[in-house]
């Protein structure tokens, strides 16, 4: 049948199982929005307050559900406003398709009104991008974009469509989506045999997991593997939830804000098993001092990550879940009793903790959020101290329950992601943990949450400063607090009410439980402004350029 390009786009989205997209209209996408009007019973469009919010919402939707997130923006500034969200998704391997409009074909390259070369702009921050110049190529391009976003290591794909292409007519024939195959072709029997040899001949193994475990939904296989290897498990920020935080083998995060136990274990282990992790600078710190006594076994889906940051002794390239299944099938039960006892001793000697001085503490707030939600919420965060406190004190048990900008470190990410996650997981309580600086970046998305009556909760850890940057100024810049003291007079609870949400202020610990329970029962967007001290800092911390065992503690 003959359809316009805009109608073909929507039909292709339906083919891919898309029922929710996030976007903001404009001149170059008017034909697409007209088609969305006709298809509104099939696809729900969420109108965000800003295109960056749409990108973060699509990202949060994808992370929470495992599906491809979709965002839509017009040409020029609409497209460039997506860039930070696309880069955020790229750094954290999030499957997303960003669709942008552009000026008509005859006006491309002529500095036309609201024209920008968005494929050129986004080339370094997408897995692939396309500009569709012939309506006959549109359907196959959309189908290919969704496949690329999901295959292998996931990531964002951009499709740019000139306005007249969305108006042109051509024949449309529906197709079943091409099934995404797991990456298993590089896994050999020799790889498995060599890995088993390492696992069966070590005495102090340590498993280090990253976001790849969560992307592969491999947490169940990982528990079996860790118990069979008889090895402790530490995690990068992005790996949290990939292994139950209440398991006796879990030692917490590793690296710059890792626990002393995890960092000591990495320093003393004789075999480091990295699974779905990329040895980022925040984990490794001083490269030449990382895991100095260990052989490295690296399991990852992306061959580009092998030997990129840390040289390995052996590696297996493939889907993490499939590799773990094959190893578990062959691996006999190992016994590393002395090593496990050493780990338990370190965990007892060096627990996470914070000073309780009668004031409202951010760590206390996170602990109570965990307890009052029975650990069953989906948590989004902004970036900085709020992010690390959430990572340290909320005990993540399952994959896809921590949504945070780990690679790019995007302030303003959390609220948009919270909206997207709530749309994707309406049965879950979704909570955004924010700092006051981050919240001000994209607080306009509260209007979106109110418009769609989403029962999200935003908890602001408000210290009146840019906390993490100020902490670095305190520790490493002789307390020269240049432009990090905010102390703005904005009343966040009143601001929430102005948007149509509920707003509360919490000044002391005794108030938090009552107000948080109100928020849980509200079924409306709620903002809880928790006033904390500006000198409440994140510990442990490893100074940049030092070995990870050189941990600075609050003491």
- Residues with a catalytic annotation lie at 51, 113-114, 163, 468
Phi then psi for residue 430, to 5 deg, are -110, 130
Query: The tokens of 365 are what?
Result: 């707030």
Closest C-alpha to 132, from 170, 85, 100, 176: 100
Query: The tokens of 455 are what?
Result: 């029962």
Secondary structure (H, E, C), 362-391: HHHHHHHHHHHCCCCCEEEECCCHHHHHHH
**8 A C-beta contact, residue 377 and residue 430:** yes
DSSP class of residue 237 equals G
DSSP class of residue 290 equals S
Coil, strand or helix: which one is 209?
Answer: strand
Other CB atoms within 10 A of residue 18 CB: 19
Strands 457-462 and 551-552: unpaired
Q: For the CA atoms of 230, 236, 240, 242, what is the dihedral angle to 10 degrees? A: -50
**In Å, how far from its chain's centre is CA 403?**
4
Q: Which residue has the tokens 């008509």?
A: 104
**Which conformational region is residue 299 in: left (phi greater than 0), alpha (psi within -120 to 50 degrees), or beta?**
beta
Q: How many residues does the chain have?
A: 555
Q: How far is CA 275 from CA 95, 272, 325, 405, 462, in A?
A: 20, 10, 13, 20, 36
DSSP class of residue 92 equals T
Q: Which residues pair with 38 in a beta bridge?
A: none
Phi then psi for residue 42, to 5 deg, are -100, -35
Q: Which residues pair with 403 in a beta bridge?
A: 380
Concatenated DSSP letters of 434-470: EEHHHHHHHGGGHHHHHHTT---EEEEEE-SB-HHHH
């Amino acid at each position: 049948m003959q359809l316009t390009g805009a109608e073909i786009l929507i039909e292709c989205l339906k083919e891919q199982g898309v029922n929710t997209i996030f976007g903001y209209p404009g001149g170059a996408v008017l034909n697409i929005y007209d088609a969305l009007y006709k298809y509104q019973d099939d696809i729900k469009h969420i109108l965000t307050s800003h295109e960056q919010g749409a990108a973060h919402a699509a990202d949060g939707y994808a992370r929470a559900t495992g599906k491809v997130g979709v965002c839509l923006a017009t040409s020029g500034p609409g497209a460039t406003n997506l860039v930070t969200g696309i880069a955020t998704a790229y750094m954290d391997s999030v499957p997303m398709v960003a669709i942008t409009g552009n000026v008509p074909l005859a006006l491309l390259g002529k500095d036309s009104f609201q024209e920008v070369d968005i494929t050129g702009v986004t080339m370094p921050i997408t897995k692939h991008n396309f500009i569709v110049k012939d309506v006959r190529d549109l359907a196959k391009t959309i189908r290919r974009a969704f496949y690329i976003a999901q295959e292998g290591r996931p990531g964002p794909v951009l499709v740019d469509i000139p306005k007249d292409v969305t108006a042109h007519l051509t024949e449309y024939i529906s197709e079943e989506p091409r099934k995404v195959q797991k990456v298993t072709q590089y896994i050999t029997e020799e790889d498995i045999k060599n890995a088993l040899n390492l696992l069966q001949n070590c005495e102090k193994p340590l498993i280090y997991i990253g976001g790849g475990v969560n992307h592969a939904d491999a947490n169940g296989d990982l528990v079996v593997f860790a118990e069979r290897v008889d090895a402790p498990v530490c995690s990068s920020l992005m790996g949290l939830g990939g292994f139950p935080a209440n398991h006796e083998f879990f030692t917490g995060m590793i690296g710059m804000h890792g626990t002393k136990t995890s960092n000591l274990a990495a320093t003393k282990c004789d075999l480091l098993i990295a699974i779905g992790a990329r040895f980022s600078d925040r984990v490794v710190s001083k490269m030449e001092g990382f895991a100095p006594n260990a052989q490295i076994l690296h399991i990852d889906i992306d061959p580009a990550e092998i030997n990129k940051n840390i040289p390995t002794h052996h590696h297996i390239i493939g889907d993490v879940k499939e590799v773990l299944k094959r190893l578990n099938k062959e691996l006999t039960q190992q016994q590393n009793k002395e090593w496990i006892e050493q780990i338990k001793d370190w965990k007892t000697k060096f627990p996470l903790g914070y000073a309780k001085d009668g004031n409202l503490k951010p760590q206390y707030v996170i602990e109570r959020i965990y307890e009052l939600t029975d650990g069953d919420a989906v948590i989004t965060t902004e970036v900085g101290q709020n992010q690390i406190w959430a990572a340290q004190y909320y005990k993540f048990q399952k994959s896809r329950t921590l949504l945070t900008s780990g690679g790019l470190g995007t302030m303003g990410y959390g609220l948009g992601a919270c909206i997207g996650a709530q749309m994707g997981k309406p049965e879950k309580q979704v909570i955004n943990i924010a700092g006051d600086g981050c919240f001000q970046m994209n607080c306009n998305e509260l209007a979106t949450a109110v418009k769609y009556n989403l029962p999200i909760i935003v908890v602001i850890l408000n210290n009146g400063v840019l906390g993490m940057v100020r902490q670095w100024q305190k520790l490493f810049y002789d307390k020269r607090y240049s432009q990090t003291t905010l102390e703005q007079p904005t009343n966040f609870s009143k601001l929430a009410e102005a948007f149509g949400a509920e707003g509360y202020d919490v000044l002391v610990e005794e108030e938090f439980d009552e107000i948080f329970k109100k928020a849980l029962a509200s079924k409306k967007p709620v903002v809880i402004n928790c006033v904390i001290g500006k000198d409440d800092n994140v510990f442990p911390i490893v100074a940049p350029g030092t070995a990870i065992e050189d941990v600075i503690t609050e003491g």
